[in-house]
Amino acid sequence: MATEVLSPVSKTEVSHDTVKSEKAGPKRLISMDFIRGCAILFMLFVHSAGGGADTEYYLNPMDTLYKKLTVLLFLPAVIFGGWRGIFVQVSGAVFGYVQVSRAFKMLRKGRRHYRAFCVALLTRYLAAMVFMFVLAGVQQWLRGLWYQCIPNDQMFWKFRWYQMGQVESNPLPFFALAFPLVVVFLILFVPVVSYVCERLSPETAPAHHSHTPRRSRLLALAAVFYVLSLMFPLLTEPVRRWVERVKDWTRYQYATDKFTNIDSSFGDWYSLQWPQILSGWFMGVFPFFGAMLQGVSIGAMLRYACDTKEGVEGEGEGEGEGPKVESPHSARVYRLLWLSAIPYALMGVITTAVYGLDALITSPDTKVDPACQFMAVPQYYILCSLETLGVTFMLGVFERVDRETAARRAAKTLWVRRFSTVSLTVFALEFCVEGPVTYMLRFWDEDIVGWMNSRNTYAILARCFLTLLSWYLVTLAFDATECKFTPDWCLTAMARVLGGQKTWDPLHWQHTRAVPVACLEVRPKTEAEREGEREDVHEAVAVDVSESVKEGGTSGGAAVESPDGLAIAQHLSIEGPTLGTTI
What does the alpha-carbon distance between residue 161 and residue 546 come to, in Å, rounded to a whole number? Answer: 70
What does the alpha-carbon distance between residue 208 and residue 241 come to, in Å, rounded to a whole number? Answer: 46
Predicted pLDDT of residue 504: 34
The gap from C-alpha 64 to its chain's centroid, in whole angstroms, comes to 33
**pLDDT exceeds 70 at position 542:** yes
What does the alpha-carbon distance between residue 379 and residue 374 come to, in Å, rounded to a whole number? Answer: 14
Q: Give the closest residue to 298 by CA, choosing from 233, 234, 389, 232.
A: 389
Q: Give the closest residue to 581 by CA, choosing from 21, 144, 54, 39.
A: 21
Predicted pLDDT of residue 540: 73
**pLDDT exceeds 70 at position 102:** no
Can you spell out the DSSP letters for 316-360? TS-B-PPPSS--HHHHHHHHHHHHHHHHHHHHHHHHHHHHHHHHH
Give the contacts of 163 (CB within 8 A, at least 6 positions apart).
56, 283, 377
Radius of gyration, alpha carbons of the chain: 28
Predicted pLDDT of residue 21: 39
What does the alpha-carbon distance between residue 37 and residue 41 come to, in Å, rounded to a whole number? Answer: 6
DSSP class of residue 399? I
Of 170-184, 191-205, 310-324, 557-571, which range is least confident?
Answer: 310-324
Q: Is 505 helix (H, G, I), strand (E, B) or coil?
A: strand
What does the alpha-carbon distance between residue 500 and residue 509 come to, in Å, rounded to a whole number? Answer: 17
Q: Give the closest residue to 182 by CA, choosing from 102, 118, 100.
A: 118
pLDDT mean across residues, the chain: 50
Q: What is the mean pLDDT of residues 203-208?
A: 48
Predicted pLDDT of residue 533: 76
Predicted pLDDT of residue 534: 77
Of 118-132, 211-225, 240-254, which range is least confident?
Answer: 240-254
**pLDDT exceeds 50 at position 34:** no
Check residues 70 and 355 and name the one with the higher pLDDT.
355
Tell me the whole-structure pTM to 2 decimals: 0.40
What does the alpha-carbon distance between residue 400 and residue 407 come to, in Å, rounded to a whole number? Answer: 12
What does the alpha-carbon distance between residue 205 and residue 274 come to, in Å, rounded to a whole number? Answer: 49
Give the contacts of 220 (CB within 8 A, at least 6 positions apart).
196, 200, 329, 333
Mind listing the pLDDT tens digit for each residue in 266-291? 444 445 555 554 555 555 566 667 66
Predicted pLDDT of residue 535: 77
Check residues 542 and 188 and name the one with the higher pLDDT.
542
Mind listing the pLDDT tens digit for each residue in 401-458? 566 665 565 555 555 444 444 444 444 444 455 555 655 665 565 555 555 555 455 5
Q: Is 60 helix (H, G, I), strand (E, B) or coil?
A: coil
**pLDDT exceeds 60 at position 220:** yes
Single-letter amino acid, residue 451: W
What does the alpha-carbon distance between residue 261 and residue 521 come to, in Å, rounded to a whole number? Answer: 55
Q: Is 153 helix (H, G, I), strand (E, B) or coil?
A: coil
